[in-house]
Structure 1
Amino acid sequence: MKHHGVICLTMMITFASACDRIGKADIQQEGAVGTKKSSTEIVLTPSEQAEAGIQVEIAAPTDQPETLEAPGRITLADTGTWRIGVLTNGRIEKVYANLGDFVREGQILARMHSHDVHDARAAYQTSRSDLTRAQAAASLAKINYDRAQRLYSIKAGSLSEVERARQELANAEAAVRDEQIEVEKERIHLEGNLGVTADPGPEAGEEEADLIPIRAAGSGYILTKNVTPGTVVDPTKDLFVIGDLRRLWMMASVNEANIRKLRVGQVAMVQTKAFPSDSFTGKVANLSPELDPVTRVMRVRIELSNPSMKLRPEMLANARIAVGPSRSVLLVPSGAIQQINDSDVVFVRISEQRFEARPVHLGEMFNGLVVLLEGVKSGDAIVTRGSFLLKSQLLKSSIESQ
């Protein structure tokens, strides 16, 4: 009987122990269910957030004008481009400027030898000699006229002699004026057309005086250089091309269906692949009077100021032209956008330690900010810095759960 009681006591202790284990298991399971998170959520403690540099901004509506997007390329402005050539045949003797140099208007870029300088200088000297002879003849004619007048006044000469002397003086003075014009013409040809001094002083070397200087027609950068010492040139060739990069154009292409939205004077924000976070402000200056017969697009000229010198001719660019009234949109920094499974997402903080990945539909970009059309609402706390770390943690959790 005593043995039977011991067995019963042992069974009761074993049953109680099993119930206790089952109860603890149920509590642990309930706790696990209570802390279970969604597959799109990440949990980070405040210390982990601080270590990762997580920053959050509250989404708020911002007014932005309706824009039209147009691709294109950066070009030199016609008013800021100079093609430097020569007016006569010759051979380049000296070159002072190189490709990429900044030059100022009037600066000598090179010097050229040409036989036209010798011919023009000889013609100039001949015209000066002819002028000297004409002036001497005019002085003699004036003396003869004065003598004829005195003889006529004392009845020692005839009136016809006076008239003949007057005519000879008038002819001599006309010859002087003609020779003066000829001298001036040859001087202008030497100094204005050829660029050499008509009357070089003793301080000027004979070689320098006979070489034609090739000067910059405007201030800018040398974009093309086609000469070296010894190059034979003629008036059909461009020796240098100078461009003012401080003022550039963007030639944008606008689809035929959007032409009605455009007006001269509209503000445009231009962005390039080289500087994606920078926007360059310009204005629509010209709308082409015709469409491209092949692509059916209209060329739009946007004038840009380029004081930072970041823009370069032939860069591909994208313009956003303000064509309508302002509208309220949500903007976030482009760094807040991540891609998961080929979808654009942002991370929204839903509690102190929880972050949720939300798919979003993106719109235009303004100065490094992206328009969010769908997926978030005003007042949401969006992660603007550290979103890549959250993406990595989410992908890691997804892999571990599989």
Structure 2
Amino acid sequence: MNTTQYRAAIYLSSLIIFTGCAEKKQNPVAEKGYCISKELRKDLKLVKATTLPIEESITLTGEVESNSDKTVPFVSLVDGVVTETYFSLGDYVKKGQVLAQVKSTAINEMQDDTQTLQAQLAVAKRKLSSVEAMYKDDIASQKDLQEARSEVTILQSNISKTSKNRQLYSAGGSSMQIKAPADGYVISKTISKGMPVTAGGDQLFTISNLDKVWVMANVYATNMRHVYTDQPVVVKTLAYPDESFSGKINTISQVFNENERVLKAKIIMDNNGMKLRPGMSADIVLPVNAQNKTAIAIPAKALIFDNNQSYVVVYKKDCELEIRTVTEIASNSQYIYVEGNLKDGENVIASNGLLIYENLKNQLNNSTK
């Protein structure tokens, strides 16, 4: 073998060795000695890498509000003092349920008026009987009879009106009963025992049906072009970080809120399980900027970041795992889109991934020593 052939042989051997090492580095496989432990296997979560159209998203801030169409504020109908309360903030109440009692001079006056009118009616009825008897004997005139009957009718009408007012106020003795005006939850309460109240004054409590709630999203001017009616959204809350609630934008205000300088987008949400409470802050995720291309999509929990590089752990069997290098190209609230050595339909590990990755890496490092 001459010098040129010798050098060529060495170069070819080096190239084969380098290529083999490169392939091993790009797609490292754990030695047969490493398997997922029984403890890790119990909580192992696998997800399929799926080819999907790339969709990005933006996140708006917002707040959960009660449905104003099914919200009833209550103010006192009379001046008085609260003597008893029978409910607390957050309670569910039924329509007609007694919630409080208010002692009021107005109720006393109604009762006195009723007694006075009843006494006057008794006198008027006796007078009518007397006039009717005199009319039969031609002593009283037709006019006298009509006046006597009219007086009885007017008094009866006044008594009926007073009685209806007492029913409206749920009056009993000198107190008024405050009853729930509708079914629902007490979402605000300012009434307490011993507190003075005034007719038509401040709200004493508010009842709302929370089967449906409104999520009001803040739309800043920079996001206006991305937001539209009937747009699908995902609502997330701090109270339930692992859950999301799906909905769509129902309406968008046409004027900016003076204080916050935002447009308000209303999302009507079914409130199954009563997890969305008025006053709760929320993040509203909207899909935007849909691109006309596809990529492999995986959940964020499946991605592992190590030494300025992203990886996934591909699962084939408990004792057959691979570390794959990937590159992020886009993301939204549900997925991270990647490209690299990962195929559609392959299972990737989405729980305890970092721990399994470290075990794999240590196994691979030991096997190369």
TM-score when scaled to structure 1?
Answer: 0.71
The alignment status of 1:118 with 2:94, answered yes or no, reads no
Q: Distance in 1 between matches of 2:152 and 2:75?
A: 36
Residues 311-326 of structure 1 correspond to what in structure 2 (within 5 A)? 311-321=276-286
The offset of 1:112, in angstroms, is 1.8
Q: Which residue of 2 aligns with 1:82?
A: 72
The offset of 1:132, in angstroms, is 2.2
The alignment status of 1:302 with 2:267, answered yes or no, reads yes
Q: Distance in 1 between matches of 2:104 and 2:254?
A: 45
Q: Which residue of 2 aligns with 1:176?
A: 152
State the SS of the aligned residue for 1:214.
Answer: strand
Residues 134 and 345 (structure 1), Cα distance of their counterparts in 2 relative to 1, 3 Å cut:
farther
Q: Which residue of 2 aligns with 1:335?
A: 301
- The farther-off stretch of 276-285 and 88-97 is 276-285
- Unmatched segments (≥5 aa) in structure 1: 1-29, 149-160, 198-208
The alignment status of 1:140 with 2:130, answered yes or no, reads yes
Q: Distance in 2 between matches of 1:241 and 1:362?
A: 46
State the SS of the aligned residue for 1:182.
Answer: helix
Candidates 160, 166, 171, aligned match of 2:142: 166
Q: Deviation digits for residues 108-164 of structure 1, max 9, x if unmatched?
A: 11212112221110001111222222223233333333332xxxxxxxxxxxx7xx7
Residues 78 and 344 (structure 1), Cα distance of their counterparts in 2 relative to 1, 3 Å cut:
farther
Q: Is 1:40–1:394's contact at 8 Å kept on the other side of the alignment?
A: no
The alignment status of 1:229 with 2:196, answered yes or no, reads no
Q: Which residue of 1 aligns with 2:170?
A: 195
Q: Is 1:39–1:398's contact at 8 Å kept on the other side of the alignment?
A: no
Q: Deviation digits for residues 314-350 of structure 1, max 9, x if unmatched?
A: 2222224578999766442332133435776534579
Candidates 160, 179, 204, aligned match of 1:215: 179
Q: Is 2:51–2:297's contact at 8 Å kept on the other side of the alignment?
A: yes
Residues 267 and 237 (structure 1), Cα distance of their counterparts in 2 relative to 1, 3 Å cut:
same
Structure (1 or 2) with the greater helix fraction: 1
Q: Structure 2 counterpart of 1:138, which letter?
A: L
Q: Which residue of 2 aligns with 1:155?
A: none
- The farther-off stretch of 39-48 and 241-250 is 39-48
Alignment length, in residue pairs? 344
TM-score when scaled to structure 2?
Answer: 0.76
State the SS of the aligned residue for 1:354.
Answer: strand
Percent of counterpart pairs with the same letter? 23
The alignment status of 1:356 with 2:324, answered yes or no, reads yes
Q: Which residue of 2 aligns with 1:100?
A: 90
State the SS of the aligned residue for 1:135.
Answer: helix
Residues 399 and 252 (structure 1), Cα distance of their counterparts in 2 relative to 1, 3 Å cut:
farther
Residues 117 and 55 (structure 1), Cα distance of their counterparts in 2 relative to 1, 3 Å cut:
closer
Residues 35 and 94 (structure 1), Cα distance of their counterparts in 2 relative to 1, 3 Å cut:
same
Q: Which residue of 1 aligns with 2:10?
A: none
Q: Is 1:350–1:356's contact at 8 Å kept on the other side of the alignment?
A: no
Q: Which residue of 2 aligns with 1:388?
A: 354
Q: Distance in 1 between matches of 2:148 and 2:341?
A: 97
Q: Distance in 2 between matches of 1:277 and 1:300?
A: 24
Q: Distance in 2 between matches of 1:64 and 1:170?
A: 89
Residues 371-386 of structure 1 correspond to what in structure 2 (within 5 A)? 371-372=336-337, 374=339, 378-379=343-344, 381-385=346-350, 386=352
Q: Distance in 2 between matches of 1:124 and 1:191?
A: 13
- Unmatched segments (≥5 aa) in structure 2: 1-15
Q: Which residue of 2 aligns with 1:250?
A: 215
State the SS of the aligned residue for 1:136.
Answer: helix
The offset of 1:364, in angstroms, is 1.7
State the SS of the aligned residue for 1:119.
Answer: helix
Residues 171 and 330 (structure 1), Cα distance of their counterparts in 2 relative to 1, 3 Å cut:
farther
Q: Structure 2 counterpart of 1:271, which letter?
A: K
Q: Is 2:312–2:323's contact at 8 Å kept on the other side of the alignment?
A: no
State the SS of the aligned residue for 1:87.
Answer: coil
